[in-house]
Structure 1
Amino acid sequence: MTVLSFFRELYSLDTLDTRFTTSSSTPLKTVDGNSSKTVERDGKATPADTSPPRWRTPEFYIYLLVFLFCVPQMYWAVVQVSQPDSPSYSKYEPLLSPGWLFGRKVDNSDGQYAGFRDNIPVLAVLVIVHPLLRRAYERLFPSYTEVSNGSANPKAGVQSANQRLRYRLAFDFWSALVYIAALNGSSFLKIILILFINFKIGTTLPRNAIPTTTWVFNIVILFANELCQGYRYSAIGNILSVPAAAEWGKTLDSYGGLNPRWEVLFKITILRMISFNFDHYWALDRSRAGSPIEKKQLDPSALSERDRVAMPAPEWTFTSFRAYVAYILYPPLYLAGPIVTFNDYISQCTYQSPSISTRRTTLYGIRFLLTLFCMEFLQHTTYAVAISKVTSDWSVYTPFQLSMLAYFNLHIIWLKLMIPWRFFRLWALVDGIDPPENMIRCMSDNYSPFGFWRSWHRSFNRWTIRYIYIPMGGGPGGGQGRVRGILNMLAVFTFVAMWHDINLRLLMWGWLVTFFFVPEILATMAFPKSKWKTRPNTYRVLCGIGGVGNVLMMMAANLVGFAVGLDGLMGLVRGIIGSWQGAVFMLAACSTLFVGVQVMFEHREEEKRNGVRLKC
């Protein structure tokens, strides 16, 4: 294998997640550890209705020159304002920490990512120890044999699969309790109480009462966790007006574990709680029709992803508190996800997904380490986050520097979310569970709000579609359907904003994202692709202009929600376009974005030529 072929395999979509190269309705069959395409798939790829490659045309050679000139300039603009001789260096220097690259300090001022970065050694030990403990547990209790796909004895295979499920659930249950006790200390009791109430809602209430009660309870918990600051035992003791209880409360509060503020990261757990209740709610209705696996004569060891998610788990797992806790508190995915539905989790515990292979997991781990180093390199050479935290006077920077500070701020946001998600997904892969990849594309490879949302926190996007968007009536159809679709998206993004944090800034972000869907919908209606078949290049130029507008709107929305807020954004905008030099720069920037969008178009066409069709 050459170095080039290795990197092609390393950065292939199949290595990242087989869901990107396989239809969700296609069963996964076998594993071939010697191939980059390790999963055999039923069916043939649909012939691609694509244009001839444009990479070697004069147009794209010009684009290449633009990239070679602009990308280094973009990076260097932020490096320049991150030097000790920068005018504002003394203001943000206190936010920098000692580094280990190039003799420079590191910008570890983002609290969210710093919490992950500072604990990487401990987490790395867990990735090794947790799967090894499972192997040791299986050796101590060797009551089942590994299930092979397409076993010659179906009855023996089903029995072995059920044993595998019970043993995995037992280990996940006890390891989760130990993990949560160490992580959250005495708050372990509060977590178990919340889980127990939700379990009772999903399993004991009349079927028609489950959906409304589930949503009310979990939204109340979402707000109450934050407003009550995790229900401190001392505060509860003071409310009871019992001095001894208040003292005991203080003692219990002192045992907060490694993460005393458990309520901050409990939001992911709430999504799994809702998933369990609704999967059970839908299973109650489908159970009357018999087993879908038997009706469709499917191989339970090689189900498609759609079937794993949609087909109800065995009835006994919905009434087992042990199975429920094992799923909700599954250690690799507890803190940050990615999110796996209850049905999918139980299916993968029964039969390991054929998409998991040693080679693919190893390549995924290498890719994670390279991404982690990329983040370290940026944190040591560019201080965009620290600068944005202390700067109130943006006039000290040129329009180009301002725009690049905003741009790299967004890249840091993208990386700080992607890295933990990939780490925890890697842990799950090593442990035998294949959750969805959360980040599909680089932040700089998005030109559509719809595509951006599908590729950013993808497992959450799929969760909102399954549990909110579709139950509310789905997307736009035509006329009133389009209005309803937009209103449904507004409801979805309002929930998403509140789920992230209860503040006005994120609500504004959610509403801005929804508002920015409207131009794309209207443009699609005004310029249908079917009417431009005879003028494909003209249509591509029109789409490129629309893509530039989309990119600017998406950058604005995410800067408001996750970086500088509305006031900071307005300051950046005034600094960029508040002079004629800024206006000229903005024109040049839009031209450069147009080049980038055209390359994105061709990149997606290349994927289609290879049989990959992603809706993003």
Structure 2
Amino acid sequence: MARAGPFVFLRKFRGLYDLDTLDTRFTTPSSVPYRTAIDARDDKKEVPETIDEDGYRGRWGTLEFYLYYVVLAWAIPYMLWSAYSVSRPSDPRYSKYQDRLSPGWVPGRDIDNSDNQYHSFRENLLYMGLLVVFHPLCRRLWDAVYTSLSSNGTESGTSSPPRGTAHEAADTRLHQRTTFDFCFAILYLIILHGFSAAKILFILSINYKIAKGLPKKYVPPATWIFNICVLFANEFSDGYKFRSIAMFFTGASPTDLVSETSALVQAGAWMDSYSGLLSRWEILFNITILRLVSFNLDYYWSLDKGDASPIEKQLDSANLSERDRISIPAQHEDYCFRNYIGYAIYAPLYLTGPIMTFNDYIAQQRYRPATIETGRTIRYAVRFLFVLLAMELMLHFNYIGAIQKSNPDWSSYTAAQLSNLSFLNLHIIWLKLLLPWRFFRLWALVDGIDPPENMLRCVANNYSTLSFWRAWHRSYYRWLLRYIYIPLGGSSFDTWKKALRSIITYLVVFTFVALWHDIKMRLLIWGWLIVFFFLPEIAAGYLFPRHKWESRPTAYRMMCCAGAVGNVMMMVSANLVGFAVGLDGLQSILRGIFSDFSGFLFLATACTVLFMGIQVMFEVRASELRKGIRLKC
């Protein structure tokens, strides 16, 4: 029995990294209710190992893969060492970026806390952690008071809703939870943004009036026009300062000193001084715009689907699949202002997401999702802590952020150093986005809501341009599918006319994605590069269909891997342009790599290592398929 201890621990540790721990959506088809899927798994006492479509049980123990293990066991530590070697005090360029470093907790090392996004998250992590405890406690207190008042109301003969049936109990639960979300949302906005909360509520009210007040045919165009205009207005108005608004109404000019004595202008300046914990509310409002569009369009589509309720479709409302939660409209009375505000400013997901549709939010408020289990939530929290530790160690030993901000002479770095710094920079970008998304999703799970997981795979575990966008910011990808891509007709490359239309669709989608992130030219270039990089992979799929290579599976796998190496190179380049060094920075890095023969030699070596790494990625997907897990990324 003593020997079983370590194996039990290892099994539990491995469970942290199961896809089911990350999100049950990855292991349960979207059309199957979770409880049904669990019952089906329980019925299978022993699942035999399956054979994949190439006739293999797995390649992990083959001679080919042992070669990969040896090479990767050398390459990965070398990459980390290469970045660390230029981040030591002994490096001659260290003094140029030293002032951007902060004292660290690893002995003998400073930390590169120069990234504004991660710096803000790191500095406020303790306070946000307290909020994760405070918010659910407030809900429990609210539930206790609400239940007490409802009981008293029933006893005294008031019109409190009865609790006789499951449907009525679900309606009561919805009203109880959304009322709390509405009240907490108002308080949350005031604490975060001070007087600017009024601006946010004003924007939300206009959007609500568009959905509920305009004739039906005008709702979609008016929704898109209004929200895109808000995107641009937020960018160029600097958050609509009250002082500027006062000066506009008084007719004063910014250079008019007399106007500063105006009571209205002074009042505006005073209100600007009380702007809450996050004064620049407009920076993070882009995520709220997605929810505004979701509410309006879900309501618009509900007007044509009044007979599509779970009862009419003979479905168990308490055990809906995710697809049904999203596609089946909420009840007509659920599209009210209280629920709208509770959804749009739902505290755990307000600042960064993940993104939920309005229909899904209402369905989960009415019935607690079966996917929320205490054990899984605890494992998810532990996994979050491991990711946080990985980020902290990365920033203690790799100073790429500080190096980049110090306007370095990239030609002073070797090709290997430039490439590895750039590649690890993408990992830091991935981690700084992953951490807030997982933290706020964890908060939602604690609160009884299960939003989609935003990141399925590590940034280093992607070889397909198309699949990369299905796994990166996954909830946003799903939002784009539902509200832009599918309404525009999707994509098809059967004929040249359909192909041209599909390319235009992709351009529209990624132009919106770029503008939604920020209104900057480098992001537009990034979005268009992504579409351009889609085309080789799509063309290869049509020119080299899998069914024509059934007799030569190994040759087909090698050919796909060679193409995937090119995909990785293109994705790295596009993301460096969009989120790291910009177009000029990428050009400088490329000049540094290709300045002499050693750069070309390193590129050949890097492509060989990538080839082997991608073979491992292929086998990871094949292992998932053998377990019955079918993911498109």
Q: Work out whether the TM-score is over 0.5.
A: yes
Structure 1 contact 30–38 (Cα < 8 Å) conserved: no
How far 1:393 moved relative to its partner? 1.2
Match of 1:191 among 192, 197, 200: 200
| CA shift in 2, pair 1:230/1:13, >3 Å | same
Quote how far apart the aligned CAs of 1:206 are.
0.6
What value does the CA root-mean-square deviation take over the aligned residues?
A: 2.0
Q: 2:159 corresponds to which residue?
A: none
| 2:619 alignment partner in structure 1 | 602
Shift in alpha-carbon separation, 1:46–1:438, aligned structure 2, 3 A: farther
Residue 408 of structure 1 corresponds to which residue in structure 2?
424
For 1:430 and 1:39, the matched residues in 2 are separated by 29
Q: 2:502 is aligned with what amino acid?
A: G
Deviations 1:152-173 (A, max 9, x none): x996111111000000001000
Residue 551 of structure 1: which of 540, 549, 568 is its match? 568
Structure 1: which amino acid aligns with 2:629?
Answer: V
Flag structure 1 segments of 5+ consecutive residues without an equivalent.
Answer: 146-152
Task: Note the alpha carbon deviations across 1:45-86, whole angstroms, 9 max, x for none.
Answer: 999635411110000000000111111000000001000111
* 1:295 CA drift (Å): 2.6
Q: Paired residue for 1:16?
A: 22
Q: 1:39 to 1:108 in 2, by over 3 A?
A: farther
Cα distance in structure 2, aligned partners of 1:10 and 1:126: 25
Match for 1:405: what amino acid?
A: L
Q: Distance in 2 between matches of 1:566 and 1:39?
A: 55
In structure 2, what is the equivalent of residue 337 of structure 1?
Answer: 353
Q: CA deviation at 1:556?
A: 0.1
8 A Cα contact 2:111 2:395, kept in partner: yes
Matches within 5 A, 1:523-538: 523-538=540-555
In structure 2, the partner of 1:214 is: 223
Query: Does 2:134 match 1:129?
Result: yes
Aligned to 1:149: none
Question: 2:50, 2:627 within 8 Å by CA — same for their partners in 1?
Answer: no
Aligned partner (choices 372, 380, 399) of residue 356 of structure 1: 372
Superposed, 1:463-474 pairs within 5 Å as: 463-474=479-490
Unmatched tracts of structure 2, length 5 or more: 1-6, 152-161, 252-261
Provide the rounded CA distance (Å) in 2 between the counterparts of 1:434 and 1:594. Answer: 37
Tell me what 1:148 maps to.
none
Counterpart of 1:478 in structure 2 is 494
Instruction: Specify the code of the residue in structure 1 equivalent to 2:60.
Output: W
CA deviations over 1:370-399 (Å, ceiling 9, x no partner):
100110010111101111121331121111
1:439-466 deviations in Å (ceiling 9; x for gaps):
0000000000111000000000000000
What is the identity, as a one-letter code, of the residue corresponding to 2:286? K
Cα contact 1:30–1:39 (8 A) shared by 2? no
2:250 matched residue in structure 1? 241
Q: Would the alpha carbon gap of residues 325 and 154 (structure 1) be closer, same or farther in structure 2, given more than 3 Å must change?
A: closer
Shift of 1:89: 0.7
Q: Does 1:7 align with 2:16?
A: no
Identify the residue that residue 107 of structure 1 maps to in structure 2. 112
- 1:114 to partner: Cα distance: 1.1
Which piece of structure 1 moves more, 587-596 or 387-396? 387-396
Q: How far does residue 483 in structure 1 lie from its aligned partner after superposition?
A: 2.2
**Is the partner of 2:170 in helix, strand or coil?**
helix
How do residues 36-435 of structure 1 correspond to structure 2 at under 5 angstroms?
49=53, 51-52=55-56, 53-142=58-147, 156-241=165-250, 243-287=262-306, 290-318=307-335, 320-435=336-451
Q: Deviation digits for residues 205-257 of structure 1, max 9, x if unmatched?
A: 11100000000000000000110000000001111126221111000000010
Give deviations 1:110-153, integer Å, cap 9, x for gaps.
111111111001100000110111011111222689xxxxxxx9
Does the residue aligned with 1:332 lie in a helix, a strand or coil? Answer: helix
Conservation of the 8 A alpha-carbon contact between 2:371 and 2:450: yes
Q: Equivalent residue of 1:101, what SS?
A: coil
1:459 aligned residue? 475
Report deviation, 1:577.
1.6
Report the more deviating stretch, 23-32 or 348-357.
Answer: 23-32
CA distance in 2, matches of 1:125, 1:505: 38
Corresponding letter in the other structure for 1:160: A
Tell me which amino acid in the other structure corresponds to 2:376. Answer: R
Q: Cα offset for 1:7?
A: 1.8
What is the letter of the counterpart of residue 93 of structure 1?
Answer: Q
Q: Distance in 2 between matches of 1:118 and 1:31?
A: 41
Aligned partners of 2:415 and 2:593 also within 8 Å: yes
Amino acid at match of 2:101: L
Listed one character per residue, the Cα deviations across residues 567-610 of structure 1 (whole Å, up to 9, x for unaligned) are 10011111112210100110011011100111111110000001
- Whether the aligned pair in 1 keeps the contact of 2:49 and 2:626 (CA below 8 Å) is no
CA distance in structure 2 between the partners assigned to 1:412 and 1:208 by the alignment: 45
SS of the aligned residue for 2:310 comes to helix
Alignment partner of 1:447 is 2:453? no
Measure, in 2, the Cα distance between the counterparts of 1:562 and 1:233.
Answer: 32
> Aligned AA for 1:515?
F
Task: Say which SS state the counterpart of residue 35 (structure 2) adopts.
Answer: strand
Partner of 1:150: none
| Equivalent residue pairs, number | 600
Structure 2 CA distance for aligned equivalents of residues 521 and 540 of structure 1:
17
CA distance in 2, matches of 1:503, 1:347: 37
* Counterpart for residue 501 of structure 1: 518
TM-score under structure 2 length normalisation = 0.92
Radius of gyration: which is bigger? 2
Q: Distance in 2 between matches of 1:49 and 1:165?
A: 46
Secondary structure of the corresponding residue to residue 296 of structure 1: coil
Provide Cα deviations, 1:510-556, integer angstroms capped at 9, x if missing partner. Answer: 00001000000111111111100000010001100100000000000
Structure 1 residue 485 displacement after superposition: 1.6
Q: Which amino acid aligns with 2:171?
A: N
Question: Does the 8 A contact of 2:356 with 2:451 survive in 1?
Answer: yes
Q: 1:278 to 1:187 in 2, by over 3 A?
A: same
Question: Would the aligned equivalents of 1:31 and 1:39 in 2 still touch at CA under 8 Å?
Answer: no
TM-score (norm 1): 0.95
**Separation (CA, whole Å) in 2 of partners of 1:350 and 1:48:** 41
Distance 2:98 2:331 in 1: 57
- Aligned counterpart, 2:3: none
Residue identity in the other structure for 1:458: R
| 1:31–1:125 Cα change, 3 Å | farther
User: How far apart, in 1, do the equivalents of 2:331 and 2:247 lie?
Assistant: 45
Contact kept, 8 Å, 2:410 with 2:592, in 1: the verdict is yes
Write the distance in 1 (CA, Å) between the matches of 2:136 and 2:288: 22
Partners of 2:60 and 2:492 lie apart in 1 by 35
Letter in 1 for 2:275: G
Q: In structure 2, the residue corresponding to 1:285 is in which secondary structure?
A: coil
Distance change (3 Å), C-alpha of 1:339 and 1:45: farther
Distance in structure 1 (CA, Å) of the matches to 2:91 and 2:289: 45
Counterparts in 2 of 1:297 and 1:45: CA distance versus 1, 3 Å? farther
